[in-house]
Structure 1
Amino acid sequence: MTVRVDTRAAEGVALITLDRPGRLNAIDLPTAEELAGAWRALRFDDTVRAAVVTGTGGRAFCTGVDRSVRVPQPASPYSLDDPLLRIGPKAADLWKPVIAAVDGMACGGAFYLLGECEFLVASETSTFFDPHTTYGMVSAYESVLMAQRMPYGEIARLALMGTAERLGARRAYEVGLVSELTPAGEALPAALRAAETVAAQPTEAVQGTVRALWAAKEAARTQALAHAAHLIALGNLPPERQAELFEERRKGNAPRVR
């Protein structure tokens, strides 16, 4: 199992932990299925009224899709299969509030998870980046999800500059992506405290408020996601060339953190 679920992390709170530290908590196909299953299970667990999602190991919250993943694709750009579309809580129709505890790197496919959380708590050593363009890939779903919670100029810079730039935790806090900044290693305890406070409020009021908040932005999000598949199909380089760029990048210069 690469996803650990602790439903007794705090009063009324479940803790979902990505547990692939040797792969910097990158998501392969089994992990994607485990995440989707965990969110579905929490829908029917009345003892859980809020959740926290985090990654183990301290180096990374999640580094997106595992580079070893290969998903066969149909020829049509209108019906591409993306396994990460199922890893978020809202994809499982879970309207219990979810808080992300970020410690270390959060990049690329991690944005599928972050984009479906209510708010983020991050340690001051955390960084956010989107490597897609560097590897000849369109940042579509990731950019759509993060554009809902960051100023346009910030997410545009993050997505367009690829691995050349990383958004530091302090700047992420200043632009509103992160709601609470903590010392290194303290993001998870802070997120659990916040989740326990939320879980102590009347359940129906909390879930109704989550649904109202999402309703405020859902129409734009749904319409934007509808364009993602064919934008990816038209803009991505062939997988072989992506792999070449990935290897070239490993030998390149370190990115600048701001």
Structure 2
Amino acid sequence: MSDELLVETRDHIAFVTLNRPKALNSISHELDVELAKVWDTIDTDPDIWVAVLSASGEKAFCAGADISGGTDADASRLALGGGLTGIGGPVRTLSKPLVVAVQGYALGGGFELAMCGDVVVAADNAQFGLPEVKAGIIGECGVVHRAVRQLPHHIAMALILTGDRLPADEALRHGLVNEVVSLPELGNAAERWAKKLAGVSPLAAQAAKLAAHVGLAHSLEVALNTRYEPIEAYATSYDVQEGRRAFQEKRAPVWTGR
């Protein structure tokens, strides 16, 4: 692992930090590969229940893909953000709940990466933008598909077609982020959300996340009539039994993730 990506795990939470502040935390191909490996580890480690994605520095969360090094022949084989965005390659959905902490610029692919979070916390200096049209660029259309699903239609279209930026307070008003805090409080707020998510049954949370994502691809009728394997598997888990015992004994459950 290079010093451009910092990873720390504590209390069942994986803290992943983009650490290229001088490059506005833009994602090079090398960093993209490292991110993909980290998501693999988080997905397969039963002792990791929640992930937090943040970035170093005050100026930017992520300015998108780093194009300063030219075109890498292998870059097209992996989607931006280690696959989370689905831009330029196959999309992956992280099975564990993901909290994203955004400060400063979240532009282009960085905006896309922020939208991959299940919970998004923004500093009051955050600015979300899709500047592609201003530069005469339109590529894999990730800028279109996520924005129109996560913002009111006309707000999303204005961002897409003008390249203007959405400040943190407006992002909160339109439901793009869950909370806006001062920049010094951003890390604490993200950790607070992560601990809240880690306090529920991890298997139930993962099953619910999968059902929500799969169901979005279908009509409500189909989604309601679909059987979700993780939900059915959870019914026989230790944690579901622990939840019932804790309720009967009037105590807080002790989850194991198994």
TM-score between both structures, scaled by the size of structure 2: 0.75
Match of 2:161 in 1: 160
Distance 1:198 1:42, change over 3 A: same
Q: CA deviation at 1:85?
A: 6.5
Cα distance between partner residues in 2 of 1:64 and 1:89: 11
CA-to-partner distance for each residue in 1:56-88, whole Å, 9 max, x for gaps? 011111000112143367xxxxxx756417431
Match of 2:84 in 1: 88
Q: CA deviation at 1:156?
A: 1.0
Match of 1:146 in 2: 147
Equivalent position amino acid for 1:212 in 2: A
Partner SS for 1:185: helix
Q: CA deviation at 1:189?
A: 1.1
Match of 2:123 in 1: 123
Bigger CA radius of gyration: 2
Match of 1:231 in 2: none
Partner SS for 2:191: helix
Cα distance between partner residues in 1 of 2:67 and 2:80: 13
Distance 1:46 1:70, change over 3 A: same
Match of 1:250 in 2: none
Match of 1:48 in 2: 48
Q: CA deviation at 1:92?
A: 4.2
Cα distance between partner residues in 2 of 1:47 and 1:72: 35
2:15–2:52 Cα contact (<8 Å) kept: yes
Cα distance between partner residues in 2 of 1:102 and 1:110: 10
Equivalent position amino acid for 2:83 in 1: I
Match of 1:108 in 2: 108
1:50–1:198 Cα contact (<8 Å) kept: yes
Q: CA deviation at 1:184?
A: 2.0
Q: CA deviation at 1:188?
A: 2.0
Match of 1:194 in 2: 193
Cα distance between partner residues in 1 of 2:190 and 2:81: 24
Q: CA deviation at 1:32?
A: 0.7
Equivalent position amino acid for 1:43 in 2: D
1:100–1:121 Cα contact (<8 Å) kept: yes
Partner SS for 1:148: helix
Q: Return 112-121 or 87-96, whichever deviates more.
A: 87-96
Unaligned runs of 5+ in 2: 220-258
- Selected match of 1:7 from 6, 9, 19: 9
Distance 1:209 1:12, change over 3 A: same
2:27–2:66 Cα contact (<8 Å) kept: yes
Equivalent position amino acid for 2:37 in 1: G
Please identify runs of 4+ aligned residues in structure 1 that moved more than 6 A.
none
- Tell me if 1:71 matches 2:71: yes
1:148–1:217 Cα contact (<8 Å) kept: no
Considering Cα pairs closer than 8 Å and 6+ residues apart, tell me whether 1 or 2 has the greater RCO: 1
Cα distance between partner residues in 2 of 1:25 and 1:16: 13
Unaligned runs of 5+ in 1: 74-79, 221-258
Partner SS for 2:101: strand
Cα distance between partner residues in 1 of 2:124 and 2:81: 28
Match of 1:32 in 2: 32
TM-score between both structures, scaled by the size of structure 1: 0.75
Q: CA deviation at 1:89?
A: 8.0
1:121–1:181 Cα contact (<8 Å) kept: yes
Equivalent position amino acid for 2:41 in 1: A
